[in-house]
Chains A and B, each alone.
Chain A
């Protein structure tokens, strides 16, 4: 690996990464990649051991190497997800059901790249040669080769139902993570979050309205849509981390990552269950959106539901266990026999391929992104 010296060196790598993915289309070339910071409402550390002290503007102000390491970890993981999502979604540009959707996806991808750019800026500006190396490595890992750091970001996004579900539920986890980082004691990280959150809201809307347009069109069986919920939502649950997480505990104590509702929650945190606290808020939020979708689903179709937090998990106490999406514990044999009822199957893909041949599977929208 060549040693990175400056941010310009990283930009060269970034352009090469884009080209390698086939992303040098004119819409992307027009997009202004830049680092954005916004004001934050609190100049003092908002929670944890250092509460009330001035937020840290430079890494040299951070009082403990373990805290610097935790910040490095958080920024690397956040940045990794941004580039990963672009790798996962890029092939969908060729199958957009409309110009509206093509432009929407293009904008989502550009903004995800900008988020990766933002995290790389933090690494290069604040973390010395280690930061430069990590920013470089972020562009060398690849979702296609299952090299991304978090499970959701190595899963394929094969078609537009996959994408809308991903944008609705995985980007929504993104909203939670960015909100938790927006209260960080490290001021450059906190200031990076408001512009990222504003951009993330568009991504959420893309997923949400995409699913609603699909439901209203009434051509894609609701049972299949549910299976895509069952595919992605458990990976989102995993993104919140394990229970009794020492990483979550110390990140809170050090003031670098708050609860999702940190600014509204006056109660003392349960430091052993921070991840579970945030995950529960996520479940509550997605419940609201799924209830809204149920109001417009075709008459007579089954109700969409939030899969159980026990189902299809890769980390934590339910990892590898054979629960069904409703939270019933099955034998492994029962689970294996019924798996095609819970998760997208080859048969479902075949059905979708047939449906996608006509554009009427989704309500068309004329305005662009």
Chain B
């Protein structure tokens, strides 16, 4: 799934206490800027993923790429990965799989 084949992508950026204290606000701002001309991408805040010890967290849906401990320096790789449909392996899916599946179940149910 990548932008070239028209996959609609939701980029969810946690804006809760721990993620915000570690720069999630700026991450979100830069992602919004990067995709402002791509209507098939929506950058949205998410109030809590519950994986606060690995903050900041950014989740791509429906791709199910979960980025944790994201730094500003990771953003260019993340953006390129979204465009090419490839995850950035070094920071992708490092959070407990059980925790991830719970959030995906909520997203699958349309709760975001």
Query: What residues of chain A have their CB less than 8 Å away from a CB belonging to chain B?
Result: 104, 195, 198-199, 201-202, 204-206, 208-209, 212-213, 288-289, 291-292, 295-296, 363-369
A212 touches B102 (CB 8 A): yes
Residue A209 contacts which of B17, B50, B52, B108 (CB distance < 8 angstroms)? B50
The one of A198, A206, A291 that contacts B16, using a Cβ cutoff of 8 Å: A198
Interface pairs (26), CB distance under 8 Å? A198-B15, A198-B16, A201-B16, A202-B52, A205-B48, A205-B49, A206-B50, A209-B50, A209-B99, A212-B102, A288-B109, A288-B110, A288-B111, A292-B105, A292-B108, A292-B109, A292-B111, A296-B105, A363-B98, A365-B96, A365-B98, A366-B96, A367-B51, A367-B96, A367-B99, A368-B52
The residues of A that contact B96 with a CB separation of less than 8 Å are 365-367
Q: Is B53 an interface residue (CB 8 A)?
A: yes
Decide: A291 near B48, CB < 8 A? Known: A212-B102, A365-B99, A367-B95: no
Return chain B residues, CB-CB under 8 Å to A364: 98
C-alpha gap A202/B96 in the complex (Å): 17
Determine whether the beta carbon of B108 is less than 8 Å from that of A295: yes
Q: How far is the CB of B28 from chain A (nearest CB, A)?
A: 14
Chain B contact patch, size range: 20 to 34
B63 at the interface (CB under 8 A from A): no
Across the interface, B98 reaches (CB within 8 A) one of A201, A288, A295, A366, namely A366
When C-beta atoms are compared, the residue in chain B nearest to A369 turns out to be B52
Which of B50, B95, B103, B106 has most chain A Cβ within 10 Å? B50
A198 to B19, alpha carbons, bound, how many Å? Answer: 11
Q: Which residues of A contact B49 (CB under 8 A)?
A: 205
Could you tell me the distance between the alpha carbons of A201 and B50 in the complex, rounded to whole angstroms?
A: 9
The distance in angstroms between the C-alpha atoms of A157 and B50, with both chains bound, is 22
B44 to chain A, nearest CB (A): 14
Contact (A292, B106) CB under 8 Å given A206-B50, A367-B95: yes
Q: Which of B23-52 contact A (CB under 8 A)?
A: 47-52
B17 to chain A, nearest CB (A): 6
Chain B residues contacting A199 (CB-CB under 8 Å) are 17
In the assembled complex, the CB of B14 is this many whole angstroms from the nearest CB of chain A, namely: 10
- The complex places the Cα of A340 from the Cα of B52 at a distance, in Å, of 40
Partner of A201, one of B48, B51, B53, B102: B48
A206 to B103, CA, bound (A): 11
Decide if B54 touches A367 in the complex (CB within 8 Å): yes
Is B47 in contact with A369, judged by CB distance below 8 angstroms? no
Inter-subunit contact A201/B106 (CB<8 Å): no
Given contacts A202-B16, A369-B53, contact A213 B105 (CB under 8 A): no
